[in-house]
């Protein structure tokens, strides 16, 4: 069986170092906000080329707390794509704001900027571009249409660790977004061994607010200055991430190599390749197939694991239909119905990659 993704294989060369660091945290008896947390925050901000990085418990909290830090009026509108993971949507709801969905592009997974224009009004206060599958939204284009409108940009970078804009700036480090949020879930390009997240910004005041919010509303113990979350990155996860971030560039390079082989060699009229940005880090490699159910059976029979990212758009979820008016997004819904994620584990062998390609071409 060709696995979809093996964290164990990716981390094999640093496993001993990770276990030693975990043991050290246990010996030091410092499990919450220990020194490894600050070390990781510093490493991550330098990696992103950002001024500030604030770690937290998970990617959903990262988005939610970022929105809360902006002190917006309840019910302010937040524009986000209809094709994303449900966490992006829930973060808006949990921040007591109103989500406004827009469609994606026809054959790439990114938010349609022309559709954003149509939805902007006096109640629009935030736009959340999602860098889905590691492909990058060119936020500079969004900045042009929001100029002078006092609209914040909070980009969801949960699948884009190390991705770059067309000008070479790294996602999470430029001045394009006001705040950038990352999930560090185990399956991400940079993942912990449990839930974890981190936020970057170049705004000192926003960084201070988020640092308070993630820690029960205080920086100095018992000095609660605001309503807060219990959303701290624990020291053990930070100690793991301090080793894993050193491997990120190498593993992203391997993902790009696998993606280039797929793009060059998959040739089947029944399979459609999607478009990726030049600076993508290929968190997922997604293809489109019309009769997905039949295709998935074909892959299973030939011992190839797969993923679905995602089988439903936000407006197709039961929660959305129950709480909001019924609307449709043609591109996103077609995408959700046809998408299949192929294995893009950086540790795939050439033999395994060629087997996947040949199997798909024979479908």
122-126-129 Cα angle (round to 5)? 130
Residue 279 gets which letter from DSSP?
T
Per-residue pLDDT, 50: 97
Which domains, and CATH codes, for the chain? 7-246 (3.40.640.10), 249-361 (3.90.1150.10)
d(CA 88, CA 126): 13
**205-249 tens-digit pLDDT:** 999 999 999 999 888 777 778 889 999 999 999 999 999 999 999
**259-302 tens-digit pLDDT:** 999 999 999 999 999 999 999 999 999 999 999 999 999 999 99
**Residues in a beta bridge with 155:** 180
**122-168 tens-digit pLDDT:** 999 999 999 999 999 999 999 999 999 999 999 999 999 999 999 99
**Is the pLDDT assigned to residue 173 strictly greater than 80?**
yes
d(CA 208, CA 185): 24
Per-residue pLDDT, 203: 97
Contacts of 16 (CB under 8 A, 6+ apart): none
CA distances from 234 to 38, 174, 212 (A): 11, 27, 16
């Amino acid at each position: 069986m060709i696995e979809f993704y093996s964290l164990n294989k990716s981390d094999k060369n640093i496993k001993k170092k990770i276990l030693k660091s975990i043991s050290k945290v246990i010996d030091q008896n410092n499990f919450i906000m220990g020194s490894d947390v600050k070390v990781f925050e510093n490493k991550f901000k330098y990696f992103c080329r950002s001024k500030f990085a604030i770690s937290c418990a998970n990617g959903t909290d990262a988005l939610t707390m970022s929105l809360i830090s902006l002190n917006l009026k309840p019910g302010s509108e937040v524009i986000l794509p209809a094709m994303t993971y449900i966490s992006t949507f829930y973060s808006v709801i949990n921040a007591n704001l109103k989500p406004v969905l827009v469609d994606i592009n026809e054959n790439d997974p990114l938010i349609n900027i022309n559709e954003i224009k149509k939805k902007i009004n006096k109640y629009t206060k935030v736009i959340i571009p999602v860098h889905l599958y590691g492909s990058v939204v060119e936020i500079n284009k969004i900045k042009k249409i929001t100029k002078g409108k006092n609209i914040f940009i909070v980009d969801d970078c949960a699948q884009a660790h190390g991705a770059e804009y067309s000008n070479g700036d790294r996602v999470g480090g430029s001045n394009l977004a006001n705040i950038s949020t990352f999930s560090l879930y185990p399956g991400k390009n940079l993942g912990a061994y449990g839930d974890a997240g981190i936020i970057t910004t170049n705004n000192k005041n926003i960084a201070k607010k988020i640092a308070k919010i993630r820690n029960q509303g205080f920086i100095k113990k018992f000095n609660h200055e605001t309503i807060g979350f219990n959303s701290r990155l624990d020291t053990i996860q930070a100690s793991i991430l301090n080793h894993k971030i050193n491997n990120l560039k190498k593993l992203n390079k391997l993902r790009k190599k696998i993606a280039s082989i797929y793009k060059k060699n998959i040739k089947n009229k029944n399979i459609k390749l999607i478009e990726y940005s030049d600076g993508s880090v290929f968190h997922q490699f997604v293809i489109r197939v019309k009769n997905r159910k039949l295709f998935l059976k074909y892959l299973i029979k030939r011992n190839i694991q797969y993923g679905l990212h995602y089988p439903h758009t936000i407006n197709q979820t039961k929660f959305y239909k129950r709480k909001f008016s019924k609307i449709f997004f043609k591109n996103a819904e077609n995408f959700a119905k046809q998408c299949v994620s192929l294995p893009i584990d950086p540790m795939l062998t050439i033999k395994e990659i060629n087997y996947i390609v040949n199997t798909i071409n024979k479908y």
